[in-house]
C-alpha cells in the first residue's frame, strides 16, 4: 500500500513538472531559427504558444533577418494559431527585431484568418513591404494585441507604414506603464506611400489604442499617423478608440484621416505641425488637448485642426482644449482659441505641461458613464508615462484631471516606500494601503467613497517601484 502511494505521488509530480514545461518555451535572442520553430510548433499545436525571449548566450538582444521565411513576404511564419511573445521579466532592455539593411523587402509578420498574436516590450525596426503593412499585416478575423511595443522606420508602399488591419481583424494596443526607462509604446518615423504612415484600419477592422506615442510618421497622401476607412462600428459602437495617446507631429497633411468609421478620442495630446483630424464620420471627443500648427501645403486647401467638409462630424463631450476653434468644441467646459502652453517632447517623446498651462486641473473630476451604462474613471487611471491620475496639482484637496494625456504630479517622488497604511485624519473613510512584495514591486489598495457619498469604492493595483515613482500596471474595482 505504501509503495502504491509513493508511485502515485511520483507520477503526479512528474505530470506536474511536464505540464509546467509545456506552458511556455524559452528562446535565445538572435537565434532566428529557434524563434521560427517555436512559432511553427505553436501554430500547429505541437508546442506551447507562449514564447519567452531571453538574452543570447553572449548577451545578444537583437534578431537580424537577412531573408524572408520560405520566400514569403514576411520574416516569420504567418500566425495562424494563438501565439504570444514576451521578453523574460527580469530583462531591463528591449529585444529588437530588425531587417538587415541590404536585405530584400519583407515585413515582420502576417497574422492570418483566426490567428491571435500578442507581443510586449519589443522594438520592431526597418521592415519594408511593397504592399500594405510595413511591419505587421492582419486580416480575416485575426486579433493583434500589443503592449509597449515600438515601431520605428518601417515602410509600406501602400497603406500602414507599421501596421495594416484589414477585413474583420481587431487591434488592441497599450503602453508599457511599469517602467519609465522603457517608456510607452511608440510609432516613430514610419512611412506609407499612400495612407496611414503608422497604422491603417480598413474594411471591417477595428482598433483600440491606448498610451502610445506617435512621432514624425509620414503618409504620402493623407493620415501621417492613422488612416481609417472601415464600415465596422463594433468596438463599443466605434471603429477606433484613442485614449491617452501623444501625437508629436511634423506632418505635411493630416495626422488622422477618417472618411469612414466612428471614432471616440479621449485624453489625447496633439502637438506640432499638421492638421489634426479630417473626418466625414462621427468623431466624439472628450478631454483632448490640441496644440497644432496647421499645414500649409495640403492639396485640399483645408488648413485647420479639424475638418469635417460640411458633415458636422465632430461632437464634443467637454473638457477639450485647443489653440483654435475648428473642432466644434461647444461645451461649457471646453476651452478654445487658447495656447495650451506645452513643452517640447522629452526623451520618451512625452509632451508635458508647463506650470502655467490652462490644462492643469481643468479636466473632469466626476465618474463618467460609458456607452454600456457603467461608471468609468474620468481620465483613465494613469497618464502617458504611467503616473496615476488624477492628481491634485494645485493642492486644493480636489483631485481633478488635467486635459490631455499628461498629468502634472502633485508632491514629491516616493522614496524608500514601506508597507504601511497612509491616510489623512481629516478625510474619514479614505486611505491607501501599500504592501511591499519585493525590492521593486508592491500591492497598492486605495479605498474611498463613490461620488454618491454613500457606497465605498476599493481600487487594487499591482505596481512596479521604479525610479522612485510607483507606476500602475493593472487596476481592479
Contact 218, 224 (CB under 8 A): yes
Residue 22: its pLDDT value, please? 63
SS3 322: strand
How far is residue 275's CA from residue 293's CA, in Å, rounded to a whole number?
Answer: 7
SS3 244: coil
Residue 243: its pLDDT value, please? 93
Residue 103: its pLDDT value, please? 96
Residue 429: its pLDDT value, please? 77
Positive or negative torsion for Cα 180, 441, 395, 338: positive
How buried is residue 347: exposed, middle or buried, by Cβ count under 10 Å (0-12/13-18/19+)?
exposed
- Choose among 432, 444, 455: nearest CA to 367: 455
Contact 228, 261 (CB under 8 A): yes
Contacts of 211 (CB under 8 A, 6+ apart): 174, 175, 177, 184, 185, 243, 244, 245, 382, 384, 405
Contact 357, 341 (CB under 8 A): yes
Strand 155-156 and strand 128-129: the pairing is parallel
Stretch (H or E) spanning 250: strand 246-260
The strands making up 191-192's β-sheet, listed across from edge to edge, are 128-129, 155-156, 191-192, 218-219
How far is residue 44's CA from residue 39's CA, in Å, rounded to a whole number?
Answer: 9
- Choose among 381, 390, 339, 332: nearest CA to 361: 390
Residue 379: its pLDDT value, please? 87
How far is residue 399's CA from residue 216's CA, in Å, rounded to a whole number?
Answer: 34
Q: How many CB atoms lie within 10 A of CB 88?
A: 12
Q: Phi then psi for 27, rounded to 5 degrees?
A: -130, 140
> Alpha carbon 78 to chain centroid distance?
23
pLDDT values of the chain reduced to their tens digit, one per residue, 477 residues: 434 433 333 333 343 334 344 689 999 999 999 999 999 999 999 999 999 999 998 989 999 999 999 999 999 999 999 999 999 865 667 899 999 999 999 999 999 989 999 998 899 999 999 999 999 999 999 999 999 899 999 999 999 999 999 999 999 998 765 444 556 789 999 999 999 999 999 999 999 999 999 999 999 999 999 999 998 655 457 899 999 999 998 999 999 999 999 999 999 999 999 999 999 999 999 999 999 987 654 444 456 899 999 999 999 999 999 999 999 999 999 999 999 999 988 887 889 999 999 999 999 887 776 655 666 778 887 888 888 888 888 888 888 999 999 999 887 665 555 567 777 777 777 888 877 765 566 778 888 877 777 778 888 876 654 433 333 444 333
Rounded to two decimals, the pTM is 0.83
DSSP state of 176: -
Instruction: Write the DSSP string, 6-67.
Output: HHHHHHHHHHHHHHHHTTEEEEETT-HHHHHHHHHHHHHTSS-SEEEEE--TT---EEEESS
Q: How many CB atoms lie within 10 A of CB 393?
A: 19
Residue 455: its pLDDT value, please? 79
Q: How many residues does the chain have?
A: 477
Identify whether 359 is preceded by a cis peptide bond (ω within 30 of 0). no
How far is residue 452's CA from residue 133's CA, in Å, rounded to a whole number?
Answer: 48
Q: Phi then psi for 108, rounded to 5 degrees?
A: -75, -55
Strand 368-369 and strand 375-376: the pairing is antiparallel
Strand 263-266 and strand 240-243: the pairing is parallel
Residue 172: its pLDDT value, please? 96
SS3 5: helix
Q: Enter the C-alpha cell of residue 368.
A: 463618467
Q: Which long-range contacts (CB under 8 A, 24 or more apart) does 462-468 make?
A: 463/178, 464/178, 464/179, 464/440, 465/414, 465/417, 465/436, 465/439, 465/440, 465/441, 466/178, 466/179, 466/180, 466/181, 466/440, 467/179, 467/180, 467/181, 467/413, 468/413, 468/414, 468/415
- Choose among 227, 230, 173: nearest CA to 199: 227
Amino acid at each position: 500500500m505504501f509503495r502504491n502511494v509513493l508511485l502515485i505521488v511520483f507520477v503526479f509530480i512528474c505530470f506536474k513538472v511536464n505540464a509546467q514545461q509545456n506552458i511556455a518555451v524559452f528562446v535565445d535572442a538572435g537565434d532566428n531559427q529557434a524563434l521560427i520553430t517555436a512559432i511553427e510548433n505553436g501554430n500547429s499545436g505541437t508546442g506551447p504558444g507562449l514564447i519567452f525571449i531571453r538574452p543570447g548566450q553572449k548577451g545578444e538582444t537583437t534578431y537580424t533577418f537577412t531573408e524572408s521565411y520560405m520566400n514569403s513576404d514576411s520574416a516569420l511564419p504567418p500566425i495562424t494559431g494563438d501565439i504570444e511573445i514576451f521578453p523574460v521579466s527580469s530583462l531591463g532592455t528591449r529585444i529588437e527585431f530588425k531587417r538587415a539593411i541590404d536585405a530584400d523587402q519583407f515585413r515582420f509578420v502576417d497574422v492570418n484568418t483566426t490567428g491571435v498574436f500578442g507581443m510586449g516590450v519589443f522594438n520592431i525596426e526597418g521592415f519594408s513591404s511593397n504592399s500594405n503593412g510595413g511591419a505587421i499585416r492582419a486580416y480575416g478575423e485575426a486579433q493583434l494585441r500589443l503592449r509597449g511595443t515600438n515601431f520605428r522606420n518601417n515602410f509600406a508602399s501602400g497603406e500602414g507604414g507599421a501596421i495594416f488591419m484589414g477585413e474583420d481583424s481587431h487591434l488592441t494596443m497599450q503602453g508599457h506603464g511599469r517602467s519609465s526607462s522603457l517608456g510607452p509604446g511608440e510609432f516613430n518615423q514610419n512611412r506609407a506611400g499612400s495612407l496611414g504612415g503608422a497604422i491603417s484600419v480598413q474594411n471591417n477592422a477595428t482598433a483600440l489604442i491606448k498610451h502610445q506615442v506617435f512621432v514624425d510618421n509620414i503618409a504620402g497622401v493623407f493620415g501621417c499617423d492613422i488612416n481609417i476607412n472601415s464600415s465596422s462600428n463594433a468596438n463599443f459602437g466605434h471603429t477606433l478608440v484613442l485614449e491617452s495617446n501623444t501625437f508629436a507631429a511634423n506632418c505635411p497633411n493630416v495626422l488622422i484621416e477618417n472618411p469612414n468609421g466612428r471614432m471616440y478620442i479621449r485624453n489625447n495630446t496633439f502637438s506640432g505641425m499638421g492638421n489634426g483630424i479630417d473626418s466625414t464620420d462621427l468623431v466624439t471627443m472628450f478631454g483632448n488637448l490640441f496644440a497644432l500648427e496647421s499645414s500649409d501645403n495640403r492639396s485640399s486647401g483645408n488648413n485647420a485642426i479639424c475638418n469635417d467638409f460640411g458633415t458636422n462630424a465632430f461632437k464634443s463631450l467637454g473638457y477639450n482644449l485647443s489653440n483654435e476653434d475648428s473642432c466644434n468644441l461647444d461645451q461649457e467646459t471646453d476651452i478654445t482659441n487658447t495656447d495650451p502652453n506645452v513643452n517640447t517632447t522629452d526623451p520618451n517623446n512625452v509632451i508635458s505641461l508647463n506650470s502655467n498651462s490652462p490644462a492643469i486641473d481643468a479636466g473632469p473630476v466626476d465618474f463618467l458613464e460609458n456607452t454600456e451604462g457603467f461608471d468609468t474613471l474620468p481620465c483613465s487611471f494613469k497618464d502617458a508615462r504611467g503616473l496615476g491620475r488624477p492628481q491634485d496639482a494645485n493642492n486644493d484637496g480636489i483631485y481633478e484631471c488635467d486635459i490631455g494625456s499628461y498629468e502634472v504630479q502633485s508632491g514629491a517622488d516616493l522614496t524608500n516606500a514601506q508597507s504601511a497604511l497612509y491616510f489623512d485624519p481629516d478625510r474619514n473613510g479614505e486611505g491607501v494601503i501599500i504592501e511591499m512584495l519585493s525590492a521593486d514591486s508592491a500591492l497598492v489598495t486605495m479605498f474611498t467613497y463613490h461620488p454618491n457619498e454613500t457606497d465605498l469604492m476599493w481600487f487594487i493595483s499591482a505596481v512596479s517601484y521604479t525610479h522612485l515613482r510607483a507606476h500602475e500596471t493593472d487596476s481592479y474595482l
